[in-house]
């Protein structure tokens, strides 16, 4: 038998692949709680399904992964690298472990939409939501542009995706449609 250490993502991917093809896997998976890894023992024999991670456990792991991602987004450090928004650990070991479990690089690049200020040319993290003066547009702004909007300075150009989103807003209720 050959021992291979793998990340949780790799183990789940193998399990899903086995489920799609033959409902069995050529290997036995054991969790090592001390090393915080999964050991995959590869053999030439097909291991029965009872040794595989059950479907409910994989679904639970997916849920835990979503929760972990939410925690990283709440406590991770936001920044800009190569003119793109990123989230990074800033050297905190708990965040580093979370990034490792999620399979993310440090820093992890984010899409611009939904993670940056909605003023054209600004890549800072959006921290505040408000109207700019008497304009009916509700914008997600960085702290610098929030102060400008609060003091009713002239509104700079707004990113197109923010304008498209606001065009869908109901004029009576002020709500965006559920998609």
Out of 64-68, 143-147, 163-167, least confident range: 64-68
Q: Please state the separation of Cα 48 from the chain's center in Å.
A: 34
Q: Is the pLDDT of residue 62 over 80?
A: no
CA–CA separation, 164 and 134 (whole Å): 19
- Note the pLDDT of residue 51: 55
- Note the pLDDT of residue 26: 42
- Note the pLDDT of residue 12: 62
Mean pLDDT of the chain: 75
Phi, psi of 79 (to 5 degrees): -165, -170
Walk across the sheet containing 108-109 and list its strands.
Answer: 77-81, 84-88, 108-109
Q: 8 or 133: which carries more pLDDT confidence?
A: 133
This prediction has a pTM of 0.55
First and final C-alpha spacing in the chain? 50
Q: Which tens digits make up the pLDDT trace of 93-122? A: 888 888 888 888 888 988 888 888 999 988
- Note the pLDDT of residue 172: 85
DSSP H stretches of helix in the chain: 8-21, 55-75, 93-102, 143-150, 160-167
- Note the pLDDT of residue 100: 86
Out of 18-27, 148-157, 169-178, least confident range: 18-27
Q: Is the pLDDT of residue 55 over 80?
A: no
Q: Is the pLDDT of residue 56 over 90?
A: no
- Note the pLDDT of residue 148: 92
Q: Is the pLDDT of residue 157 over 90?
A: yes
Do residues 115 and 126 lie in contact, with contact meaning Cβ atoms separated by under 8 Å? yes
Q: Is the pLDDT of residue 127 over 70?
A: yes
Give the 3-state secondary structure of residue 38. strand
Residue in 44, 51, 48, 46 with CA at minimum distance from that of residue 11: 51
């Amino acid at each position: 038998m050959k021992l291979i250490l793998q990340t949780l993502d790799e183990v789940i991917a193998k399990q899903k692949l086995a489920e799609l093809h033959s409902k069995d896997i050529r290997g036995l998976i054991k969790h090592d709680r001390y090393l915080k890894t999964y050991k995959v023992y590869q053999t030439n024999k097909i291991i029965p399904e009872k040794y595989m991670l059950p479907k409910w456990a994989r679904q639970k792991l997916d849920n835990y992964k979503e929760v972990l991602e939410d925690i990283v987004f709440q406590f991770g450090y936001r920044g800009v690298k190569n003119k793109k928004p990123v989230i990074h650990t800033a050297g905190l070991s708990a965040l580093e472990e979370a990034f490792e479990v999620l399979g993310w690089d440090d820093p992890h690049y984010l899409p611009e939409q939904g993670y940056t200020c909605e003023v054209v040319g600004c890549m800072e993290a959006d921290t505040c939501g408000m109207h700019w003066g008497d304009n009916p547009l509700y914008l997600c702004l960085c702290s610098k542009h929030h102060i400008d909007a609060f003091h009713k300075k002239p509104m700079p150009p707004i990113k197109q995706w923010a304008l498209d989103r606001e065009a869908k807003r109901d004029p009576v209720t002020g709500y965006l449609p559920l998609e």
